[in-house]
């Protein structure tokens, strides 16, 4: 028992346990209540589509947004944006990393989380724009970049933002 108590004195272990607990709580809340009973997912998807469409049109692309969750450039099959690609899970991941880190004033954490989520959403919009443009060249390029390139970029960005927070609050 003494070994276990000593183990929990380690700040890294406490951080990881809090992070895991917050993420698990979020996951359960999201799957049981938010996703099935709210329109949060579709709100974020529609916001992403509307902004992406506006930007693509500013660059003279003929954009269609047929059925719900669909955006594309004329001549392509378009992109269907599912719940896994709307960014909400990324927002939560970033938030819990900042909240779980023991240092930093709460109001600075809140401000940093708002800025971080805004930047993640901007990256997600840029990802949709890039994927729509790639789709005019090759569906295979679109699939590859969706699966690998943009996943790496967004998670690296979240890690970078978290490391900035940690280094600033050491």
Q: What is the pLDDT along the chain (170 residues), one digit of tens a residue?
A: 666 667 777 888 889 999 999 999 999 999 999 998 899 999 999 999 999 999 999 999 999 997 789 999 999 999 999 988 899 999 999 999 999 999 999 999 999 999 999 999 999 999 999 999 999 999 999 999 999 999 999 999 999 999 999 999 98
Phi, psi angle pair for 139, to nearest 5°: -65, -35
State the pLDDT at residue 83. Answer: 87
Query: Hey, what are 167's tokens?
Result: 């280094």
47-55 — which CB contacts under 8 Å span 24+ positions? 47/121, 48/81, 48/86, 48/87, 48/121, 48/124, 48/125, 48/128, 49/81, 49/128, 51/125, 52/125, 52/128, 52/129, 52/132, 55/125, 55/129
CA distances (Å), origin 50, targets 47, 76, 160: 5, 18, 28
**Helix, strand, coil shares, percent, the chain, to 5:** 75, 5, 20
Nearest residue to 142 via CA among 74, 75, 77: 77
pLDDT of residue 67: 76
Whole-prediction pTM: 0.90
Q: Where are the domains of the chain?
A: 2-168
Task: Give residue 11's pLDDT.
Answer: 86
């Amino acid at each position: 028992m003494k070994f276990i108590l000593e183990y929990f004195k380690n700040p890294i272990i406490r951080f990881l346990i809090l992070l895991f607990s917050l993420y698990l709580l979020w996951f359960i809340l999201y799957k049981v209540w938010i996703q099935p009973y709210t329109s949060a997912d579709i709100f974020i998807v529609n916001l992403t589509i509307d902004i992406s469409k506006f930007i693509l049109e500013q660059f003279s692309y003929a954009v269609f947004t047929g059925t719900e969750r669909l955006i594309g450039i004329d001549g392509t099959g378009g992109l269907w944006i599912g719940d896994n690609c709307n960014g909400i899970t990324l927002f939560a991941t970033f938030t819990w990393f900042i909240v779980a880190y023991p240092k930093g004033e709460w109001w600075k954490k809140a401000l940093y989380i708002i800025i971080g989520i805004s930047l993640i959403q901007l990256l997600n919009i840029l990802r949709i724009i890039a994927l729509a443009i790639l789709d005019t060249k090759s569906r295979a390029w679109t699939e590859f970049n969706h699966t690998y390139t943009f996943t790496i970029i967004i998670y690296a960005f979240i890690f970078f933002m978290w490391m900035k927070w940690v280094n600033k609050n050491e």
